[in-house]
Amino acid sequence: MTTARASRGSAVVMTLYLLFLLVPIYWLVNMSLKTNAEITGTFSLWPQNPTLRNFRVILTDPSWYMGYINSLIYVVMNTVLSLAVALPAAYAFSRYRFLGDKHLFFWLLTNRMAPPAVFALPFFQLYSAVGLFDTHIAVALAHCLFNVPLAVWILEGFMSGVPREIDETAYIDGYSFPRFFTRIFMPLIASGIGVAAFFCFMFSWVELLLSRTLTSVNAKPIAATMTRTVSASGLDWGVLAAAGVLTILPGALVIWFVRNYIAKGFALGRV
């Protein structure tokens, strides 16, 4: 009986907490389906005349939808780049001891923890100097600052769960390192690679300070497009809300697949 009461208590707590989480998001979705006249004129808990006008504005105006395309381009570039360099490095950290390994691993962590604000100005100067300012690759490289360490740590966490006997058996069977790594090892840690890719994607997608500092027109991310609208005089709340809703979608779509690894990913592969 006490357990029945306890579980009912838990259900109440969880319902309240989820309401607290979802109501602000609902409010954004709600706004995105209203006209501006309805947003500022009347106060209603749900759209009285639901309209897709705001989404239509974004999907037909290049200055809006190019923001999404720019963001997607550098996020994908960054994810591929981060994983490509992190995979062999994570293998080295998980399987061998070598000169300075612990220091290197720690140094990577400090970059994950570094405040982007510290790097904003030097990045701006560095990428301007090498002529990469306002290109997708500049943002992709800048985000490597925190995503490469993240990927190395997460992958190392997953790889250390694979027994080393597998490597040794494969080498005895005559596999070369590249063949072993791509044919046997990578399929074994496929879920780890997926999780690392998801988190690289996510952290690059949510970042604003660096991507805004390093771009002006050609590679301007959606996040920067949104802030610029906020500071403009005539506020288009509906379009702003619709833009926000569209930025939530990529995460919301894939989250189901990584649900059991969310904690592990955020804790850098250590849980």
Partner 1 sequence: MDKPVNNRAWFLVLPVLVLVAFSAVIPLMTVVNYSVQDTFGNNQFFWNGLGWFQEVLESDRIHAALGRQLLFSAIILAIEIPLGIFIALNMPKRGFWASLVLVLMALPLLIPWNVVGTIWQVFGRVDIGLLGHTLAALGIDYNYVNDPVDAWATIIVMDVWHWTSLVALLCYAGLQSIPDAYYQAARIDQASRWGVFRYIELPKMSGVLLIAVLLRFMDSFMIYTEPFVVTGGGPGNATTFLSIDLVKMAIGQFDLGPAAAFSLIYFLVILLISWVFYTVMTAQRDRT
Q: Which is nearer to partner 1, 59 or 271 (CB)?
A: 271
Give the H or E element holding residue 88: helix 62-95
- Cα–Cα distance for residue pair 189/58, rounded to 1 Å: 39
Q: Which is nearer to partner 1, 123 or 158 (CB)?
A: 123
**CB-based contacts of 10-14 (< 8 A; 24+ apart in sequence):** none
119 backbone dihedrals φ, ψ, rounded to 5°:
-95, -10
* Least distance to partner 1, CB of residue 187, Å: 19
C-alpha 163: how far from chain center: 30
DSSP structure class, residue 254: H
* Least distance to partner 1, CB of residue 21, Å: 6
- Cα–Cα distance for residue pair 155/226, rounded to 1 Å: 34
**CB-based contacts of 88-92 (< 8 A; 24+ apart in sequence):** 88/181, 89/152, 90/151, 90/152, 90/153, 90/155, 90/156, 90/159, 91/155, 91/159, 91/181, 91/185
Q: Which is nearer to partner 1, 74 or 123 (CB)?
A: 123
Tokens found for residue 89: 């490095």
Q: Which is nearer to partner 1, 110 or 233 (CB)?
A: 110
Q: What is the largest CA-CA distance in the chain?
A: 75
* Least distance to partner 1, CB of residue 28, Å: 5
* Least distance to partner 1, CB of residue 61, Å: 18
* Least distance to partner 1, CB of residue 161, Å: 12
Q: Which is nearer to partner 1, 52 or 84 (CB)?
A: 84
* Least distance to partner 1, CB of residue 5, Å: 11
Q: Which is nearer to partner 1, 56 or 171 (CB)?
A: 171
